[in-house]
Amino acid sequence: MLDIHWLKTFVMLAELKHFGKAATALHMTQPNVSLHLKQLEKKTHTKLIERSPFRLTQAGHRLLQTSQKTLQALKVCQADINALNDLSQGTLTIAASDIISRVLLIEPFQLFKLEYPNIDLALFNSTSTLASSLVKSADADLGIVIAQKQSLPLHYTELQTVHWCALGQDLSLLKARPLSKLIDEVPTFILLGHDTRTRDLIDVALPLLAFLDYRVMEVGSVDAQIDWAEAGFGIAIVPDFSVHYKKNLSADILRLDEFPATSLGYIVRQNQILSKAVKHLLSLVKEKIASNKQKNKYSSS
């Protein structure tokens, strides 16, 4: 049998192609990395890596493929075992964008800690696209994302519909006429984020604004888009839920009903076993969404 620690070292070494970098990533000394490789080559009776220049042998490539699959399967298995044991202690990891975590997760996290004081919560601040990768690799137990398509090996459950808003100075002048009549004499900056998943929806809808000339400026996060729009630099196209919690906005807000709606929801791995703790956290998130909808209903009436 091949030692799992040797395989972990070998995979890291093969991916980084450098003994020193692999040692740093694994919190090991460089001699120990070399020792693990030597032990692995002795056990397999074959040379796995050529050092000068660094390259994998044919046997090394074959072992790398199998080792990556094996380590991934063990990671998923450990996550399922944690769930079966109801995860009363340890770490629960969630992947979500900055705006989703601010709007939806702060209060549920507070309530969750009261119920599960021995479980640490870890948050990956990520785009929806990156969140999917983290859940697939079992580096995150749960992802909360926008515009997820149902695709293996992930299972997506919708939590709410998301519409788009335009945010900018003097948009009030545009509310009285249809979007198809909007004309600007000078180039308009359209402020967008960098998540490719939401850009796929927004980019194709931008012509509906019918500006004679516009330029897209990618500014990163939704909060950055709002800040730039507040400063009068352009028009931010953002999810409607992202502006509801913002107080004292000076910019105008225009709902873009002609833009295609999408959804916000959570993703887990297909057939993933959900622990009692994960189910409880999801119930708190759903309650927060329902509460937000109620508040927005009152504020708009």
CATH T-level fold of 164-260? D-Maltodextrin-Binding Protein; domain 2 (3.40.190)
Sign (positive/negative) of CA torsion 203, 204, 210, 213? positive
Question: Which pLDDT score is estimated for 245?
Answer: 75
Sign (positive/negative) of CA torsion 238, 243, 248, 253? positive
User: What pLDDT, in 10s, does the model give residues 189-237?
Assistant: 888 988 888 888 899 998 888 777 788 999 888 889 999 999 988 899 9
- For 239, the token pair is 């999810």
Confidence of residue 96 (pLDDT cuts 50, 70, 90): very high
Question: Which pLDDT score is estimated for 297?
Answer: 62
Read off the pLDDT of each residue in 65-79 and give the average, rounded to a whole number.
85
CB atoms within 10 A of CB 195: 22
Domain 85-160+263-300, CATH number (from 3.30.360.10, 3.40.50.2300, 3.40.190.10, 3.30.460.80): 3.40.190.10
The DSSP code sequence of 225-280 is: HHHHHHTTS-EEEEETHHHHT--S--SEEEE-TTSPPEEEEEEEETTPPPPHHHHH
Q: Using DSSP, state whether 50 is helix, strand or coil.
A: strand
Query: Looking at beta carbons, which pairs linking 35-41 to residues 24 or more positions away fall under 8 Å?
Result: 36/5, 36/6, 36/9, 36/10, 37/6, 37/9, 37/10, 37/13, 39/3, 39/6, 40/2, 40/3, 40/6, 40/7, 40/9, 40/10
Please report where in the chains the tokens 């916000």 appear, as a residue: 264
Q: What CATH number has the domain spanning 4-74?
A: 1.10.10.10
The amino acid at residue 282 is: L
For residue 299, is pLDDT > 70?
no
Give domain limits for the chain: 4-74, 85-160+263-300, 164-260
Sign (positive/negative) of CA torsion 282, 113, 128, 84? negative
CA-closest candidate to residue 2, choices 81, 77, 63: 63
User: Distance between CA 239 and CA 105 in Å, rounded?
Assistant: 16
- On the CB side of 154, how many CA atoms lie within 13 Å of its CA? 27
User: Distance between CA 156 and CA 151 in Å, rounded?
Assistant: 8
CA dist 126 → 93, 94, 102, 215 (Å): 12, 10, 13, 26
CB atoms within 10 A of CB 291: 11
CB contact set of 48 (below 8 Å; sequence gap of 6+): 10, 37, 40, 41, 56, 57, 59, 60, 63
For residue 170, is pLDDT > 80?
no
| 3-state per-residue secondary structure call for 165-180 | EEEECCHHHHCCCCHH
Q: Fold match between 85-160+263-300 and 164-260?
A: yes
Angle, helix 106-115 to helix 276-300, in steps of 10 degrees: 140
pTM for the structure as a whole: 0.75
User: What pLDDT, in 10s, does the model give residues 108-152?
Assistant: 999 999 999 988 999 999 888 889 989 988 889 999 999 887 676
The DSSP code sequence of 269-299 is: ETTPPPPHHHHHHHHHHHHHHHHHHHHHHHH
